Structure 1
Amino acid sequence: MIELEIERVAHGGVFVARHDGRVVFVADAIPGERVAARVSDQGKERFWRAETVEVLEASPDRREHVWSEASVDRAPERRAGGAEFGHIRIERQRELKGEVLREALSRMAGLEVAVEVAPVDPALAPGASLDDGTGWRTRMRLHVGADGRVGPYAARSHTIVPVASVPLAVPELAALSPLGDRFPGASAIDLVAPSVGDPAIVMASVERMPRGVRPTIEERVGDRTFRLDRDGFWQVHRGAAATLTRAVQELIDGDLFDPRAANHDLYGGVGLLAAAVGDRFGETVRITTVESDARATEHAGANLAEWLGARAVTARVDRYLAELLSDGAAERAGLRDATIVLDPPRAGAGREVVERLAELRPRQLVYVACDPVAFARDVGLFRERGYELDALRAVDLFPNTHHVEAVARLRAIV
């Protein structure tokens, strides 16, 4: 056991302290606190990892954890994972997330940017609590142990923790959660609460399910409905899809937008952000959504059917861009007038995609990011290739966790 003075927040939901000159990444703490911590990983020469076991001097931002099963009062191996900021006052959570994003942009992109993480507009997320950051998750996975009992994994492990509550879930999922039941033979229990229709429990078998007709659901965003596979990707926060739709629409610079250009929605899923572009600029807008998942692309084609200039392509984004570059000057000329929306996975777009986009030279990029470090790295790569960060918004789409969503506009510098 060691005593530590917590200095600052780090990426990944942990906090930085020092012990005998060595950096220690500490869970379940807050900057300014003094804690007793148990070192859980001494395998690195440069740093250790540790878990708070007792708060010796508490921050004024500390509160009772919103999830009792994740509280510091429990032994670290018995703390439910998935709410690593739940012990922090909600306003301070947002400040800490802003610090992580700001520091990443400074270190990896050479930018000094003021970052304010905004809450989700309560009108877009009925039932969710802005005061304590609960009641927002519409999708949740509970794991099943060898004895058939269900629960989340413990923080930073694959140990299943039985729980009696799931406070981050929307109320209809919390009521449906089979927390006291047993499911022998299953590997996990998925719970889904779409915005259209009833919530559902889906049991995942240890063995691979046979191919067949996959159940679908519908999600409504404003006046528009999207169809997707029940186990397909959709934003987790009840208000996230509408929030990102609004942010993308507002961050596209209308003076730079050409509806006849080869506009694209990369990593497009079932067409949510392509539809956002179409709804702002009209049914004749030309836009192509690119997604590697064939089922999602199939749904995107149907979801975007009313736009005459819309099409959905199944392809990996890096390979698709390589093909565009090989098509010659005519296609590339259309892209030079284009707006590109991209919403890559947590790992970000990466060097190869950034290089190809920069070579195609679209007028503006609207980048939706769920990982601040991957986003900052990509912004740095774009800056090296003649794009500048022109606008930035950050939204707290994952309250009580360390995750934060950012939407940015990058403009080609002539």
Structure 2
Amino acid sequence: MTAAQSWTGRQVEVEVGAVAHGGHCVARAEGRVVFVRHALPGERVLVEITEDKGGSFCRGDAVQVLEASADRVDPVCPLAHPGGCGGCDWQHASGQAQRALKAAVVAEQLSRLAKLDVDVLVEELPGGLVDWRTRVRMVVDGHGRPGFRGHRSHKVIPAKRCPIAAPGLVEDANDQRWTRGAELELTTDARGRVDIVEHPQRGRSRQVEGDGVAVERAAGREWHVDAHGFWQVHPEAADYLAEVVGEWAAARPGDTAWDLYGGAGLFGSVLAEQVGAEGSVVVVESARGAVADGRANLVDLPQVRFRVGLVEDVLARLHGSPQVVVLDPPRKGAGRAVVDALAARGPDRVVYVACDPAALARDVAGFAAHGYRLDRLRAFDAFPMTHHVECVALLVRD
């Protein structure tokens, strides 16, 4: 398609079809697929094409709703509109509808990529749809104002508040002076204390507020961790996930368990309580800071050993076969090499924590090729107003 033929900027009227992975719905116009944001299934909308690289599909925003879904609501944020902040995908949908959309995406990915027909229910976490995000990234515009990027854009949308962020967190950033073009990391911990770091495009990062340490509470423990390292951003998520992981891992006293992509050892601590002093838990994590935090936090659990490195590298050096494996990989998933290596060790149970339905489905299919079946699945709305969803899957050997 030549530049002259591009649909970018063109408006087309479409009937919106099913939800798709990524915070948009699928529509068709003149034989082409249009991925539409700010719309809901069953609606008739006027779409303005925002991106067209040629080929069979393009992207667009619903700029006018001609026939609205019964699930449509008014967004709580004035920046949640076409051309606005790209952080939220579903502010125009009721909470129940958001969870149904996410459930449909998880089910579709498992069907398409793993050939499994699974009934999915996305469970609501306590706290509602707003005021939940405890870790936020912002960027500073050319006028020194903090804001968020537009969807698939480098444009900075200044924001004085954010309804999904913990109260006062974004407001606190607006009380500071910032370097143009800098990136900001903002955290509030279980004590309600704020930590802010500024990362300028040139020069050293600057600790603006706090001491770089967050105190979190989960799995019956208090954790002192890097304020800007990995931790669940929803204040209830870590505890809920740890409970499910513990229930499904069901490690026995004396067992060997592996916690892969283990961070500071949240799930490793649960496994350690199960295997007891005679058992063994190996936590594998590539971030040295997280490992240092984990060793300090779990000093009372000598059965826990941390190994620093990429999971695919450390696996080749680990001896023996665990009875239970817990893995919480990054968004891209564990991947074939890790799945193959784990299956070769023959654990009885694999508990897989996933933040991306497509990656989960691919890895479930990979385990299935080695004789593991999906025994249970739970999904949690740990990221309300966005398209993200957290899943926990239990895989067992047939």
Task: Bin the TM-score by the shorter chain.
Answer: over 0.9
Q: Which residue of 2 aligns with 1:85?
A: 90
Q: In the alignment, is the contact (CA less than 8 A) between 1:95 and 1:116 conserved in 2?
A: yes
Whichever residue aligns with residue 132 of structure 2, its letter is W
Q: Which residue of 1 aligns with 2:79?
A: 69
Question: Which of 385, 390, 398 matches 1:405?
Answer: 390
Whichever residue aligns with residue 189 of structure 1, its letter is L
Alignment of 1:178-197 (within 5 A): 178=174, 182-185=177-180, 187-196=182-191
Give the Cα separation in 2 of the matches to 1:210 and 1:33: 46
Q: Which residue of 2 aligns with 1:27?
A: 37
Moved more, 281-290 or 54-63: 281-290
Q: Secondary structure at the match of 1:161?
A: strand
Whichever residue aligns with residue 103 of structure 1, its letter is E
Give the Cα separation in 2 of the matches to 1:182 and 1:6: 44
Whichever residue aligns with residue 195 of structure 2, its letter is A
Deviation at 1:210, TM superposition (A): 7.4
Give the Cα separation in 2 of the matches to 1:32 and 1:197: 42
Q: In the alignment, is the contact (CA less than 8 A) between 1:267 and 1:343 conserved in 2?
A: yes
1:287 aligns with 2:272: no
Alignment of 1:333-344 (within 5 A): 334-335=321-322, 338-344=323-329
Aligned-residue RMSD, C-alpha: 1.9
Give the Cα separation in 2 of the matches to 1:153 and 1:353: 34
Q: Which residue of 1 aligns with 2:303?
A: 309
1:141 aligns with 2:137: yes
Q: Which residue of 1 aligns with 2:228?
A: 231
Q: In the alignment, is the contact (CA less than 8 A) between 2:377 and 2:392 conserved in 1?
A: yes
Whichever residue aligns with residue 231 of structure 1, its letter is H
Whichever residue aligns with residue 102 of structure 1, its letter is A
User: Are residues 177 and 300 of structure 1, via their aligned partners in 2, closer, same or farther at CA, if it must alter by over 3 Å?
Assistant: same
Deviation string for 1:210-262 (max 9, x for gaps)?
Answer: 799x832221225311122222111111111111111111222x3xx343233
Moved more, 401-410 or 38-47: 38-47
Give the Cα separation in 2 of the matches to 1:284 and 1:147: 60
Whichever residue aligns with residue 372 of structure 1, its letter is P
1:60 aligns with 2:70: yes
Q: In the alignment, is the contact (CA less than 8 A) between 2:161 and 2:171 conserved in 1?
A: no
1:16 aligns with 2:1: no
Q: Which residue of 2 aligns with 1:327?
A: none
1:297 aligns with 2:302: no
Q: In the alignment, is the contact (CA less than 8 A) between 2:256 and 2:279 conserved in 1?
A: no
Q: Which residue of 2 aligns with 1:206?
A: 201
Give the Cα separation in 2 of the matches to 1:225 and 1:207: 36
Question: Which of 247, 250, 261 matches 1:267?
Answer: 261
Deviation at 1:4, TM superposition (A): 0.8
Deviation at 1:142, TM superposition (A): 1.5
Q: In the alignment, is the contact (CA less than 8 A) between 1:216 and 1:230 conserved in 2?
A: yes
Count of aligned pairs between the two proteins: 385
* TM-score w.r.t. length of structure 2: 0.92
Give the Cα separation in 2 of the matches to 1:387 and 1:99: 24
Give the Cα separation in 2 of the matches to 1:175 and 1:211: 19
1:219 aligns with 2:216: yes
Deviation string for 1:75-133 (max 9, x for gaps)?
Answer: x33x111111111011010001000000110111111010000011x2xxxxx3x2xx0
Deviation string for 1:152-190 (max 9, x for gaps)?
Answer: 111221100112320001124244231x75413461222
Q: In the alignment, is the contact (CA less than 8 A) between 1:268 and 1:342 conserved in 2?
A: yes
Q: In the alignment, is the contact (CA less than 8 A) between 2:198 and 2:206 conserved in 1?
A: no
Deviation at 1:6, TM superposition (A): 0.3
Give the Cα separation in 2 of the matches to 1:67 and 1:398: 16
1:382 aligns with 2:367: yes
Q: Secondary structure at the match of 1:51?
A: strand
Deviation string for 1:30-67 (max 9, x for gaps)?
Answer: 00001101112221311111111111111110000021
Alignment of 1:96-107 (within 5 A): 96-107=101-112
Q: Secondary structure at the match of 1:245?
A: helix
Give the Cα separation in 2 of the matches to 1:221 and 1:283: 21
Whichever residue aligns with residue 45 of structure 2, its letter is V
User: Are residues 210 and 406 of structure 1, via their aligned partners in 2, closer, same or farther at CA, if it must alter by over 3 Å?
Assistant: closer
Give the Cα separation in 2 of the matches to 1:93 and 1:264: 34
Q: Which residue of 1 aligns with 2:272?
A: 278
Whichever residue aligns with residue 38 of structure 2, its letter is D
Give the Cα separation in 1 of the matches to 2:23 and 2:117: 22
Q: Secondary structure at the match of 1:141?
A: strand
Q: Secondary structure at the match of 2:100?
A: helix
Whichever residue aligns with residue 309 of structure 1, its letter is Q
Deviation at 1:342, TM superposition (A): 0.2
1:357 aligns with 2:342: yes
Q: Which residue of 2 aligns with 1:346?
A: 331
Give the Cα separation in 2 of the matches to 1:103 and 1:268: 28
* TM-score w.r.t. length of structure 1: 0.89
